[in-house]
Amino acid sequence: MRHPSRLALALALASPCIADDVGGTAYLAYDNDFIVGSDDGYSGGIHLGYASPYAASYSDAPVPEAVGRALGRLPLVNQPGRRRFVAYKLSQLTYTPEDSANEELVLDDIPYSGLLVFSTTAAAQDASHLDAFTLTVGVVGPASLAQEVQDGLHRATGSDLAQGWDNQLANEPIVNAQYDHRWRVWDLASGGRTHADAIVSGGAAAGNMQTMANVGIGLRFGFDVPDDTFVPPPFYGQESVGMLSLRDERVAGSPSAYFAIGVDASLIANQIWLDGNTFRDSHSVDHEQWVARGYLGLHARVGRAVMSVALVQASVPWDRPDGERWERYGRASLGWDM
């Protein structure tokens, strides 16, 4: 055996009830508001992500060795007894005003904007708590290819094309940092299976994409609720935070299915899709500092496959021309345990 010390450390960090290594998870998630009969505000998003298997240290995770050493010095995500992992996500997000048939600049609504961003997360968790740091880099503007993707989807579905993309935000590099914490405050279990739990979430982000703080609570109930800490992340957050179970769900037994409901609130200093370009003049809208959000989702696991659908409703922080105070969209995701 080449690395007996690493093996000993991994065993020491693992919970005694874990008999099998937990593999990584890849997932694809798709957001769109056409599901609820709309096509404005947050118009849609595509997310492709991967969460690595647990590692004894970040140097053993799928990152360059120098990065692993740097992650090993971060606070909060290196506490003894926590299981560590890294996650990656590539996302494209699209925002359009209500009057998408207008070729002119719509002054009293949000600007056209698209974001193409890549996120890297370092996280550590135990049975009750999870901490995670995420760095997001990318671009807002025509280089995001949001117009091309939206036009392609609209042609495929026979929908009208948005006409005002010539007024979208200019190209600008994106750099954002985010911290998240999850805390399982209650669970109901019997026969080695969890039937319900409650998870409190909180976090903060800073950067030119968005600067905000968030707090929320989610309730999950059903058959064989997993022992992860997953609740929908604050917008925009890393979906893979909380996604990994402590046990290997592939060998845990029968399929699982559960409902998830939750609410959260965000205090916003800036969001580029509302406040416009950071380093040059651009279209923007005045907005409130608070956003409230609620969600209802159904999650299921069969073998290695993980599926979920959710409906999300969030308050609109700017004065929409139609006076609507709530924004709604649907989400569907498919994951695969490796």
Q: What percent of the chain has pLDDT over 90?
A: 73
Q: Could you tell me which CATH class the domain 22-337 is placed in?
A: mainly beta
Residues of the chain with pLDDT under 70: 1-22, 34-40, 235-237, 248-253
Please state, in angstroms and rounded to a whole number, the distance separating the CA atoms of residues 53 and 240: 12
**pLDDT of res. 237:** 67
**pLDDT of res. 10:** 34
**pLDDT of res. 236:** 66
Q: How far is CA 231 from CA 104, 114, 137, 139, 180, in A?
A: 39, 25, 23, 27, 11
Domain ranges of the chain: 22-337
Tokens at residue 74, please? 């971060």
**pLDDT of res. 233:** 77
**pLDDT of res. 12:** 33
**pLDDT of res. 246:** 83
**pLDDT of res. 275:** 98
**pLDDT of res. 268:** 96
Task: Report H helices in the chain.
Answer: 4-13, 65-71, 146-157, 272-275
Please state, in angstroms and rounded to a whole number, the distance separating the CA atoms of residues 53 and 23: 5
Please say whether the beta carbons of 106 and 97 come within 8 A.
yes
* pLDDT, tens digit, 9 for 90 and up, residues 163-202: 999 999 999 999 999 999 999 999 998 777 889 999 999 9
* pLDDT, tens digit, 9 for 90 and up, residues 68-94: 999 999 999 999 999 999 999 999 999
**pLDDT of res. 150:** 94
**pLDDT of res. 1:** 39
Residue 81, phi-psi category: left (phi > 0), alpha (psi -120 to 50), beta (remainder): left
Taking the alpha carbons of 189, 194, 195, 196 in that order, is the dihedral positive or negative? positive
